[in-house]
Amino acid sequence: MTKVALKGLGLHKARAVLTTLAVVIGVAMISGAYVVSDTMLSAANSLSGSAYDNTDAVVTKHQAFSTGSDTVGTAVTVKPDVLQKVRSLPQVAAATGDVTEQAKLIDKKGKVIGSGPYFAVGLDPVNGKNLTPFKLTQGHFATTSSEVVVDKGTADKQHYKLGDQIKVSAIGPVKSYTIVGITKWGSVDNFGTATAAIFTLPEAQAMFHKGNAYNSILVGARSGVSPEQLRATLKTQLGSDVTIQSAKKQDRFTLDGLTSFVKIIRGILVGFGMVSIFVGAFIIFNTLSITVAQRIRELAMLRTVGASRRQVMRSVVGEAAVMGVLGRSSAFCSASPSPRVCRRS
pLDDT at 286 over 50: yes
Q: Residue 292 to residues 5, 7, 8: CA-CA distances in angstroms? A: 12, 15, 11
Burial 194-219 (b: 16+ CB within 10 A, else e): bbbbbbbbebbbbbbebeebbbbbbb
- Share above pLDDT 70 across residues of the chain, in percent, rounded to a whole number: 71
Q: Which long-range contacts (CB under 8 A, 24 or more apart) does 225-230 make?
A: 225/91, 227/56, 227/57, 229/91, 230/56, 230/57, 230/91, 230/92
Q: Look up residue 125 and give its DSSP letter.
A: T
Burial 94-127 (b: 16+ CB within 10 A, else e): bbbbbbbbbbbbbbeeeeebbeebbbbbbbbbeb
Q: Residue 16 to residues 11, 299, 329: CA-CA distances in angstroms? A: 9, 18, 15
pLDDT digits (tens, 9 = 90+) for 127-169: 888 888 888 999 999 999 999 999 998 999 999 999 999 999 9
Its pTM surpasses 0.75:
no
Q: Distance between CA 104 and CA 118 in Å, rounded?
A: 6
pLDDT digits (tens, 9 = 90+) for 233-283: 999 999 888 999 988 888 787 766 666 766 777 778 777 777 777 776 776
Task: Please confirm whether the linkage preceding 117 is cis (ω < 30° from 0).
Answer: yes
The 10 Å Cβ neighbour count of residue 62 is: 14
| Nearest alpha-carbon partner for 186 in 10, 53, 39 | 53
* Interhelix angle 2-11/309-335, nearest 10 degrees: 60
pLDDT digits (tens, 9 = 90+) for 195-206: 999 999 999 999
- The strand ranges marked E within 158-237 are 165-169, 175-185, 195-200, 216-221
The 10 Å Cβ neighbour count of residue 79 is: 17
Q: Distance between CA 97 and CA 201 in Å, rounded?
A: 8
| Nearest alpha-carbon partner for 144 in 91, 199, 92 | 199
Q: What is the pLDDT of residue 40?
A: 66
